[in-house]
């Protein structure tokens, strides 16, 4: 009988008189023939009431609009039903059941979640050894629980109309153009930090190898997005005396490739904008994991020292950490004791800007710096300007000099003309150039030019009187043809 609209004797509160009134069956009849019903009334204005019209009926019709009161229950025996014949449609019944579930959720949350509501009227007093203190601020009220239950009942588990409404409201509260909902604070961190790598930020953006200062006691998912984007996290703790991040007090940090700063969020932490005046191109971009409580904002208070608020500042024009650091360390470890013969020497490199060349240059700069070799690499390139754009940090290295020239046609005097005297006296030559950048079987590339370029390139490099030459030959100098191999 669930969903039937019936007339029955409804006892008055004095339990002596009764009236025939409509009621909606929401459960039963059970084994004893008992029904659970909600009172239906023609009067408007009751809280927790659901409207009922003819269009909401599956059977029968309403003479006038009525209201189902979801907070007026009665239990009666099925024999007391005086009139049947009307049935409420499933959709309206679902609305009634949803309202019941939500109201019960509010009642449940009011009792079960008191620990998550510090300062609320019905909050439990703190008892040492008894009261559980949540490790982080999961602060919510019955409203949130009710909204969550409501969404669950709709089974709209992804971003829907309510989420979009929330985005609009939040943007309004924060005074920003728009806000974007993600599934968790960790995702928000990832999205926010990744957004800071956008090319739209130009020079301000975070690039691989940049340093991002973050708090030492941060959540792991604060650090993970930094690593994910190829940047290098630098954890700092705050001084307990003045609550300023140590990094701001250490010159070494500011000179070690500092690019982004997670401010310690203390009001008294130095404002990165002050640094902006001292450092050109210093830009501050903020994002946060927590919001100030509305009442604090309304009272015109300053943003509280919420430890979850993370502020990032981005600067540029400072030296950056090499993303190859780990690989170059590997090279250094496994070339221990090797480098002495090149100390103070000048080395000429062809093909220094390709795949091989980049590694030769990078590993040389690392060893030269680490071991203070005082050696110098002179790099032949057809287009040094293009390489400067491609590898700005390398082209800025003191131990590298780029000379313009083509490996097939350059002469020793060309090179000498571009160099100060001592550098042109090469102790070593590395000939790593090759004309293989495109498909070797491509008929548009002349095989003759490939062959003669290799041979002539080698000859050009061999002229002059260096001490030692490394020639990067390759296996095709033998054979790659299996039929010949076997």
Per CB under 8 A, does 454 bind another protein? yes
Segment interacting with another protein, rule: CB under 8 A, options 11-19, 126-134, 143-151, 331-339:
331-339
Among 232, 221, 297, 294, residue whose Cα is nearest residue 259: 232
DSSP state of 340: G
Nearest CB to another protein, comparing residues 269 and 377:
377
Segment interacting with another protein, rule: CB under 8 A, options 28-36, 63-71, 176-184, 360-368:
360-368
Nearest CB to another protein, comparing residues 306 and 327:
327
Per CB under 8 A, does 251 bind another protein? no
Per CB under 8 A, does 42 bind another protein? no
* Nearest approach, Cβ of residue 376 and another protein (Å): 15
Q: Give just the sign of the alpha carbon dihedral 93, 94, 95, 97.
A: positive
Tell which phi-psi region holds residue 28, choosing left (phi > 0), alpha (psi between -120 and 50) or beta. left
Per CB under 8 A, does 458 bind another protein? yes
Per CB under 8 A, does 207 bind another protein? yes
Per CB under 8 A, does 472 bind another protein? yes
Tokens of 67: 């209201």
> Footprint of another protein on residues 424-443 (CB under 8 A)?
428, 430, 432, 434-441
Residue identified by tokens 């795949």 is: 355
> Footprint of another protein on residues 210-229 (CB under 8 A)?
229
> Footprint of another protein on residues 379-418 (CB under 8 A)?
389
Q: Nearest 10 degrees: CA dihedral of 112, 116, 122, 125?
A: 110
> Footprint of another protein on residues 162-191 (CB under 8 A)?
none
Segment interacting with another protein, rule: CB under 8 A, options 263-271, 374-382, 397-405, 469-477:
469-477
Per CB under 8 A, does 341 bind another protein? yes
Per CB under 8 A, does 281 bind another protein? no
Tokens of 157: 């588990």
> In this chain, which of 18, 122, 152, 478 binds another protein, going by CB under 8 A?
478
* Nearest approach, Cβ of residue 25 and another protein (Å): 52
Tokens of 314: 């981005």
Nearest CB to another protein, comparing residues 80 and 436:
436
* Nearest approach, Cβ of residue 321 and another protein (Å): 12
Centroid of chain to Cα 329: 29
Contacts 24+ apart (CB under 8 A), 265-270: 265/215, 265/305, 265/306, 265/307, 265/309, 265/310, 265/311, 266/238, 266/305, 267/302, 267/305, 268/242, 268/243, 268/244, 269/238, 269/243, 269/244, 269/245, 270/244
What are the Cα distances from residue 471, in Å, to 333, 393, 418, 457? Answer: 24, 27, 24, 11
Per CB under 8 A, does 258 bind another protein? no
Nearest CB to another protein, comparing residues 106 and 450:
450
Distance CA 258, CA 319 (A): 8
Phi and psi of 200, rounded to 5°? -65, -20
């Amino acid at each position: 009988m669930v969903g039937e609209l019936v007339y029955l004797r409804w006892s008055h509160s004095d339990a002596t008189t009764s009236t025939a009134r409509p009621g909606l069956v929401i459960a039963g009849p059970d084994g004893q023939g008992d029904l659970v019903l909600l009172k239906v009334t023609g009067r408007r204005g009751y809280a927790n009431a659901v409207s009922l019209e003819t269009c909401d009926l599956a059977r029968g019709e309403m003479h006038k609009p009525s209201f189902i009161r979801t907070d007026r229950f009665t239990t009666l025996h099925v024999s007391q039903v005086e009139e049947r014949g009307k049935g409420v449609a499933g959709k309206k019944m679902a609305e009634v059941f949803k309202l019941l579930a939500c109201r019960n959720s509010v009642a449940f949350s009011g009792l079960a979640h008191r620990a998550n509501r510090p300062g609320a009227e019905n909050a439990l007093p703190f008892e040492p050894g008894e009261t559980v203190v949540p490790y982080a601020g999961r602060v919510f009220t019955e409203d949130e629980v009710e909204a969550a239950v409501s969404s669950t009942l709709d089974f709209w588990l992804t971003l829907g109309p309510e989420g979009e409404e929330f985005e609009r409201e939040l943007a309004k509260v924060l005074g920003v153009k728009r806000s974007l909902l993600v599934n968790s604070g960790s995702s928000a961190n990832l999205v926010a930090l990744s957004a800071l790598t956008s090319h739209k930020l130009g020079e301000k953006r975070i690039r691989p190898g940049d340093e991002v200062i973050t708090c030492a006691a941060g959540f792991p998912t604060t650090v993970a997005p930094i690593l994910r984007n190829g940047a290098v996290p630098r954890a700092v703790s705050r001084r307990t005396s003045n609550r300023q991040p140590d990094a701001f007090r250490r010159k070494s940090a500011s000179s070690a490739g500092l690019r982004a700063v997670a401010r310690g969020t203390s009001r008294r932490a130095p404002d990165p904008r002050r640094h902006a005046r001292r450092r050109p191109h210093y830009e501050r971009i903020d994002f946060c994991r927590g919001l100030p409580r509305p009442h604090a904002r309304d009272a015109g208070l300053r943003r509280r020292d919420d430890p979850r608020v993370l502020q990032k500042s981005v600067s540029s024009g400072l030296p950056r950490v090499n993303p190859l650091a780990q690989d170059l360390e590997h090279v250094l470890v496994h070339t221990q004791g090797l480098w002495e013969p090149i100390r103070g020497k000048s080395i000429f490199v062809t093909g220094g800007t390709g795949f091989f060349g980049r590694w030769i240059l990078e590993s040389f700069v690392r060893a030269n710096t680490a071991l203070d070799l005082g050696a110098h690499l002179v790099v032949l390139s057809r287009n040094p300007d293009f390489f400067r754009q491609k590898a700005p940090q390398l082209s800025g290295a003191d131990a590298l000099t780029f000379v313009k020239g083509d490996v097939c046609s350059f002469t020793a005097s060309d090179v000498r003309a571009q160099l100060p005297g001592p550098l042109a006296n090469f102790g070593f030559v590395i000939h790593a150039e090759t004309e293989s950048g495109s498909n070797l079987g491509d008929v548009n590339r002349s095989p003759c030019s490939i062959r003669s370029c290799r041979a002539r390139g080698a000859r050009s490099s061999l002229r002059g009187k260096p001490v030692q030459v490394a020639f990067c030959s390759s296996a095709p100098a033998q054979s790659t043809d299996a039929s010949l191999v076997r």
